[in-house]
Amino acid sequence: MDFNNNDNLNNNLNNEHKDYIAGENFYMFNPQVEENTENTTEMNSVNSNYSEPKKVKIKMKNGTFRKAMSYVLVGVICATIGAGATLGSALYLLPKTDFFENTPLYEAVSKKSTSTTSSNSVSYNLHPTTVATEEGALTISEIAKKVGPAVVGVSTKSVAGIDWFGNEQISEGIGSGMIINEEGYVLTNQHVIAGATEVKVIFNNGKEVAAKVVNSDANHDIAIVKITEDVEVPGVVELGTSSSLQVGETVVAIGNPLGKEFLGSVTSGIVSAVNRKLGDKDIAYIQTDAAINSGNSGGPLVNSQGQVIGINTAKISSTGTVSVDGMGFAIPIDLVKDKLDDLSKPVPKLGIAGQSIDKTTAKQKGLVEGVFVAEVQDFSGAQMAGIRVGDIIVKFDGQTVKSVDEINKIKSKHAIGDKVEVEVYRYTDDEYKKFQVKLTE
């Protein structure tokens, strides 16, 4: 099964295998090791990404019988509601088998048919099923007018890789987001901004403004971006609730499928299911048949009142060799709302960009396991403490670390201004050194 989390639409549509220090404004270092990708991380996003998507096999038991019955039921319904139809014709469309003739349905229809065929006129007491309209429901056009101005594009630039000689490859991407307050804070997916060195927000009129990543939560694939230019925001979304969401409710997805050319595209559908699980993510997703494609990530899924009830995140595009349509997934907004205050606060920064060095890489290059320091930010806590490019972080805050994720997890428990002990292996001196690093904004 292929999961497309519609991540920021990179030029190559896949900015994978990148590690980064959360909150740092620098790129990922990716030493060009001979075809080694064992210890890299993939942002599938859910591609926050399912690096090894599980294949799904659908086995239809008694498939012929079920298919036949599906046709039969359609025949029954058409015969029942069609002009001049008789229950005798409905009975004719039902299967003539010993098994079926022993069922209550056959007996009921057979009895009704027998009692009515001798009469020239048949009286039907039909009770058609009615579908209740949602109170206060807006039209799709009204929803687009209400929500559309607050939906933005989130454009990013990142360094896809850098070799030992310092040559960079720049990757550009675009996802979606939604303005959540007048101060210009934008909610989006974490995989949209992962590893970004530059971020811009694109309004629905095409205007681009500078922005920065404030904070992110990789576990829930959410992030906050703040507009840094002094501009008036064109709109703010209204957050609804997803806890009472019902299957069959109308929903609308707004975002930027496939990039800037389709900025602010609107699609509609229904809630196909709730509490869906994807891969090993600890998230109960909303499933919808509203069209969601690459570039839609981070955009809102909206209910009929024009309230955001989810963040569009992923889709299933195929199962094996079979293509799949209409299977999009959104993070429930109730899972996000209580995290917004903390996410709107800047994350403590170490001031570096790094690359995880796994056991295989360490053996091939004659290094130690840890996090290779690829860049040190000017005037950062790391630089002031004495950490250099080329150092390999082996312990952070007294704990052994072998990946960027481990550093981020430990760092998330600290506040801006805290000092942490960082132990590195300095290859040039062939020795271990310890530094007291102050975490900065």
Q: What is the mean pLDDT of residues 212-232?
A: 93
Q: Are residues 49 and 67 in the same domain?
A: no
Q: Is residue 261 part of a domain?
A: yes
Boundary (domain end) residue, out of 194, 227, 260: 227
Predicted confidence (pLDDT) at residue 194 exceeds the cutoff of 50: yes
Q: Is residue 419 part of a domain?
A: yes
CA distance 160 to 72: 56
The verdict on whether 297 is a catalytic residue reads yes
Which residues does 218 contact at the CB level (< 8 Å), separation at least 6? Answer: 22, 48, 190, 194, 405, 408
Q: What is the mean pLDDT of residues 229-252?
A: 96
Q: Are residues 36 and 184 in the same domain?
A: yes
Q: Are residues 37 and 96 in the same domain?
A: no
Boundary (domain end) residue, out of 338, 362, 397: 338
Predicted confidence (pLDDT) per residue in 14-70, tens digit: 333 344 565 554 444 444 434 443 333 333 333 333 333 333 433 333 333 333 333
Q: Are residues 97 and 27 in the same domain?
A: no
pTM for this prediction: 0.62
Q: Are residues 255 and 333 in the same domain?
A: yes
The answer to whether the beta carbons of residues 326 and 368 sit under 8 Å apart is no
User: Would you state the pLDDT for residue 50?
Assistant: 34
Cα-to-chain-centroid distance, residue 361 = 31
Enumerate the β-bridge partners of residue 216. Answer: 223
Q: Is residue 234 part of a domain?
A: no
101 band by pLDDT with thresholds 50, 70 and 90: low
Counting the structural domains of the chain, the total is: 4
CB-facing half-sphere around the CA of 373: CA atoms within 13 A: 24
DSSP 172-207: EEEEEEEE-STT-EEEE-HHHHTT-SEEEEE-TTS-
Predicted confidence (pLDDT) per residue in 253-276, tens digit: 999 988 888 999 999 999 999 999
The answer to whether the beta carbons of residues 132 and 125 sit under 8 Å apart is no
User: Would you state the pLDDT for residue 323?
Assistant: 77
Q: Is residue 142 part of a domain?
A: no
Q: Are residues 30 and 169 in the same domain?
A: yes
Q: Are residues 38 and 169 in the same domain?
A: yes
Predicted confidence (pLDDT) per residue in 12-29, tens digit: 333 333 445 655 544 444
Q: Is residue 143 part of a domain?
A: no
User: Would you state the pLDDT for residue 102?
Assistant: 57
Q: For the chain, what percent of residues have pLDDT higher than 70?
A: 67
Q: Are residues 364 and 425 in the same domain?
A: yes
Predicted confidence (pLDDT) per residue in 72-96, tens digit: 212 222 333 333 343 333 333 334 4
From 7, 221, 358, 391, active-site residue: 221
353 band by pLDDT with thresholds 50, 70 and 90: confident
From 19, 176, 191, 242, active-site residue: 191
Q: Are residues 390 and 358 in the same domain?
A: yes
Q: What is the mean pLDDT of residues 358-372?
A: 91
Boundary (domain end) residue, out of 173, 193, 227: 227
Q: Looking at residue 382, which CATH number applies to its domain? A: 2.30.42.10
Q: Are residues 203 and 68 in the same domain?
A: no
Q: Are residues 49 and 161 in the same domain?
A: yes
User: Would you state the pLDDT for residue 163?
Assistant: 65
Q: Are residues 70 and 218 in the same domain?
A: no
Q: Is residue 347 part of a domain?
A: no
The verdict on whether 318 is a catalytic residue reads no
Which residues does 375 contact at the CB level (< 8 Å), separation at least 6? Answer: 26, 27, 29, 352, 353, 389
* Lowest-confidence segment of 75-89, 173-187, 238-252 by average pLDDT: 75-89
Q: Is residue 238 part of a domain?
A: no
Q: Looking at residue 328, which CATH number applies to its domain? A: 2.40.10.10
- Report which of residues 407 and 171 the model is more confident about: 407
| Per-chain mean pLDDT for the chain | 76
Q: What is the 3-state secondary structure (H, E, C) of 226-240?
A: EECCCCCCCCCCCEC
From 268, 297, 356, 403, active-site residue: 297
User: Would you state the pLDDT for residue 347?
Assistant: 81
Question: Residue 81's domain spans which residues?
Answer: 63-116
Q: Is residue 182 part of a domain?
A: yes
